[in-house]
Structure 1
């Protein structure tokens, strides 16, 4: 199953078939769907009054295919203004003017038609076909298929980016693992050297000497305490577990955005702990690099459905 982005756009038109006279039996319909990020599915419709009756069916159609995102649907009839009025054709105007001339010839005191009356009459003359809403739903299905396809392509790009960041995080984790034993060994040797220096200074001042075994035992105890304090094995294990789960969800697909967002927060927590336990510049660098990659992942995961 694919991973879908919450960002997408699609538009299409429906050109109605012509009748016997060559005129369009069905007006040209247009629709566009666009979306941006949102925690939930938020549908907004911008349609002329003639098309409002289709909104419940459109809402059901989109709700069955989309899970999250702020989605705006705009539908219109070509040649009509936002108020639902269309532009009258020259033939219609000529016919009305001819009727007006006939009436004036019979009744000279009759009032001539105003612009508003002409617009009103031409709008009434071409009532909307009864199958308009069915054609609008058919158009909506076409636009929705294109829209979902656009979100799928964007989702694939985001998924590829996330998998690349997972690969880099695993490499940083592998670099961090051998650093801990090295740091413990260095700390143990550093303690022994300082202790021997202190013993040498004590002997010169006449202070009783301690046995080598006692020094080694104390050094071991200090090194053990240091190792416990800087041990990040548990953090690295949890981090690897989160990486495995994130990769599984991406490859599984579907509406995984919320679960991925939670796992990214957990990754950030482990990287922070790794940095707080750091006792070397190299380990600090690894922690910082991890947090940069995790932040990049967090920004992109918020775009996923």
Structure 2
């Protein structure tokens, strides 16, 4: 049995967060199994035009899975505090000076009234490029964590599948070892029944019938195909890159041969082996649904 080199699960979660002088960024990435790569993004308006860059980063690193990406941005209170537009304030002061010169008794506006004049207070501009650059770095960190988590989960899946695959191989070996005895026992039972019935048949016709019955009960071909599929599953587990679809196809082929083996079963031993094969294959198939 070949040891799995790298199997990646499609189920994982990662989150990164960092506080900057201008605010706090948080990135969350969740992925579950999906036939194709299906990314979804939730971004604040200030980072909306960053989506194509993040989407491309996902496509370069992931092959399959439904991936939900969420980016949250909370500006720092300092960055939201308004600043005084000194130029506008100077213009107002000059205008007040002219008014005071023309109307000496005019009321002098209070500081609060000055601040409420249009254009005196302005929101401090946020460096959008700095926020986007930081969000991209944080997203890459979260993506790395997600990929590591998918690899750890995939390693566990590979161990489970390899163990079940070994059990499948043991069942095939057991059936193959039983077949000569089963065929001989079946031939003896048929001869005994015919002898009891004292049925007079042509010896050549009788032998032909026995050969036909033996051929129907013979499962060497199915066992050979099961062995070939087992070897191919082991081979695929040892390959790099996405392999989930290929493994899922192989599970269908294994199940097909197990069903044929069950339909050809003539004794309880092979029936039990066929049932155990189908249970093991179904267990592998369920886990393979999560493999990239």
2:172 and 2:238 mapped to 1: Cα distance? 22
1:164 and 1:300 mapped to 2: Cα distance? 12
TM-score w.r.t. length of structure 1 = 0.78
CA contact (8 A) 1:41 1:71 kept: yes
Residues matched between the structures, number: 267
Task: Report the CA distance shift for 1:168/1:285 in structure 2 as closer, same or farther (over 3 A).
Answer: same
Task: Report the CA distance shift for 1:137/1:230 in structure 2 as closer, same or farther (over 3 A).
Answer: same
Query: Any stretches of 5+ residues in structure 2 without a counterpart?
Result: 90-106
TM-score w.r.t. length of structure 2 = 0.81
1:73 maps to 2:69: yes
- Partner in structure 2 of residue 221 of structure 1: 208
Post-superposition offset of 1:178? 2.5
Deviation per residue, 1:256-296 (Å, 9 max, x gap): 00000000000000000000000111111110100000001
CA contact (8 A) 2:44 2:72 kept: yes
The within-5 A match list for 1:44-83 is: 44-78=40-74
Task: Report the CA distance shift for 1:111/1:265 in structure 2 as closer, same or farther (over 3 A).
Answer: farther
Q: CA RMSD in A?
A: 3.1
Deviation per residue, 1:224-273 (Å, 9 max, x gap): 11110111110110011011010011111320000000000000000000
More strand by share: 2
1:180 maps to 2:176: no
- Partner in structure 1 of residue 37 of structure 2: 41
1:193 maps to 2:197: no
SS in 1 for 2:242: coil
SS in 2 for 1:173: helix
The within-5 A match list for 1:49-128 is: 49-78=45-74, 88=77, 92=81, 106=109, 124-128=123-127
Query: Any stretches of 5+ residues in structure 1 without a counterpart?
Result: 17-23, 80-85, 114-120, 203-209
2:35 and 2:52 mapped to 1: Cα distance? 22
